[in-house]
Amino acid sequence: MVEFSLPRGTMDFLPEEMAQRRYVEDIVRKTFESFGFQEVQTPIFEEFALLAARSGEEIREGMFTFMADEVEYALRPEVTAAVCRMIVTGKIALPKPYKVYYLGPCFRYEEPQAGRYRQFWQAGIELMGSQSPVADAEVICVGAKTLENVGITPYRLKVGNIGIFRGILEDVGLDLEDQNRIIGNIDGIMSNREKCALIAEKKELGIDDQNYIKTYLNLLYDMQMGLINEGIEVVGEYEILPSALENLSLWVDTLPTVMEQTYRAAWIAEGMPEKTVDLLLEVSRVSGARSDVMPRAQVLLKGSAAETPLQELDKVLSNLEAFGVTNYEVVLGVARGLDYYTGTVFEFDVPLLGAQKQVCGGGRYDRLVEEFGGPPTPATGYAFGFDRIVLSRLLVKEIPVPRKVDVFIAVVDESLGQNAIQISQGLRERGYKVEIEMTQRDLKGQLGYASEIKAKYCVILGPRELREGKVMLKNLDTEEQAAVLLGELTEVIGKEKAGIED
């Protein structure tokens, strides 16, 4: 016999899990809609070229692709590119700004682990057609409200502006491609710092941690060898020797610095001025309260093209505070893994989740619609990792699951099956969830099943009672049982409807 297994990195959801997901989904939708966002849906697959255009190297290389009609397609790794395509190809005639949301599956070929899947769900919003800092602030506020409404606290909100890195790189003449590559490197440095800090909190390295450190050491070792082969001996005390690859736990504290220094050497080797390289690294470390960060950053960035995005960031923050969101941290190093961001960038983390703690990421992408052939359309948005939201909520507080059915109709003998059908239809018309017997169990088995599925009532049909126009009604919560006139059944149950709906 052939044995099939669940594809790696995917999940089945059983009824209880689906009920929990629907509960969270409902809150997410209501929150999005309370700010005027309307739902849209785009296909699960799109042309690979569209999805790859500005997705960043990591996402580009992790797409599930296939050919059809000689076109290369991919399962979508995210939805923003598809929404921009929809705006362009659909010639949308909605009044601006467009405020749309989506909730659906995305696919990335990743190494699966807790909270990181190959098929996962994103719930996102896109606000298109506004350049105002109010738009960025509102989008961030919707994120904060969503988490609060779902009941997820504490969370950490980091806000930055990717234009600051772009400005520093523009100052030395780097084009968009090179900017994206360097910003991708900074994103790697930032996540490495966070990951190593998490690992450092553990008493012992798990197998995943060891693999993580090994992967990065090998990557940096190769980079360093490349530099050394070119005659550039710039890594000095941070050089990784092959023998050092054995003792992984020694690297937890130093790996982030080694990574920074290796990239520092590589950037200088490709001709970037040392001053710029050091500024990039210094900016990536600036974080804290607005009142501390802003004056410090103004000094650091004086005279640079990065001054304008810094001012933009300040305006977004003051609007964010007007929305009542003050529990944020300014983190100038937020770099994001996607290439399309042009301004504000932000992330929400839920520390309770551990390694995969980022539940939401987003930012401003003012050029994407235009790059896909549409009119200039400044835009901002984000996506929640929906599965991580559900996980977070379950860690904080259980999710109430509604009853499968309110009423189960049992029959003393099979010949009463059609009476059960009739009664069940009547009850359903009055809004009850009802199930009838259909497996030829004896009465004891039927009552056992009704309790197992946590029905509130069991209606028992017997020939004698039916001849008298009655049924037995058993309250499975209290175990009380009484004969009830068939004509009064819904009324009796109805009196306790409030109890049924809990």
Contact residues for ligand HAM, defined by CB under 6 A: 78, 80, 108, 110, 116-117, 120, 122, 124, 126, 337-338, 358-363, 365, 381-383, 385, 387-388
Please, how many CA atoms are within 13 Å of residue 458, restricted to the half-sphere of its CB? 26
Amino acid letter, 217:
L
Tell me how far the alpha carbon of residue 468 is from its chain's centroid.
59
Tell me the two tokens of residue 21.
């997901």
Closest approach, Cβ 488 to ligand HAM, in A, equals: 52
Closest approach, Cβ 161 to ligand HAM, in A, equals: 14
Pick the closer one to ligand HAM by CB: 221 or 382. 382
Closest approach, Cβ 78 to ligand HAM, in A, equals: 3
Pick the closer one to ligand HAM by CB: 129 or 462. 129
Total residues found in the chain within this entry? 502
Pick the closer one to ligand HAM by CB: 381 or 462. 381
Pick the closer one to ligand HAM by CB: 105 or 426. 105
CA distances from 434 to 191, 359, 474, 500 (A): 51, 38, 14, 12
Pick the closer one to ligand HAM by CB: 120 or 263. 120
DSSP label at residue 354: G
Pick the closer one to ligand HAM by CB: 42 or 80. 80
What is the DSSP secondary-structure string of 373-435?
Answer: T-----EEEEEEEHHHHHHHHHHHS------S-SEEEEESSGGGHHHHHHHHHHHHHTT--EE
Pick the closer one to ligand HAM by CB: 194 or 496. 194
Closest approach, Cβ 310 to ligand HAM, in A, equals: 21
Closest approach, Cβ 349 to ligand HAM, in A, equals: 9
Determine the angle formed by the axes of helices 255-269 and 176-200, rounding to 10 degrees. Answer: 160
Q: How far is Cα 164 from Cα 312, in angstroms, rounded to an integer?
A: 10
Number of residue whose CB is nearest ligand HAM: 385
Tell me the two tokens of residue 26.
């409902």
The phi and psi torsions of 120 (rounded to 5 degrees) equal -140, 165
Q: How far is Cα 97 from Cα 163, in angstroms, rounded to an integer?
A: 22
CB 64 within 8 A of CB 187: no
Pick the closer one to ligand HAM by CB: 121 or 216. 121
SS3 312: helix
Closest approach, Cβ 79 to ligand HAM, in A, equals: 6
Closest approach, Cβ 238 to ligand HAM, in A, equals: 30
Closest approach, Cβ 194 to ligand HAM, in A, equals: 13
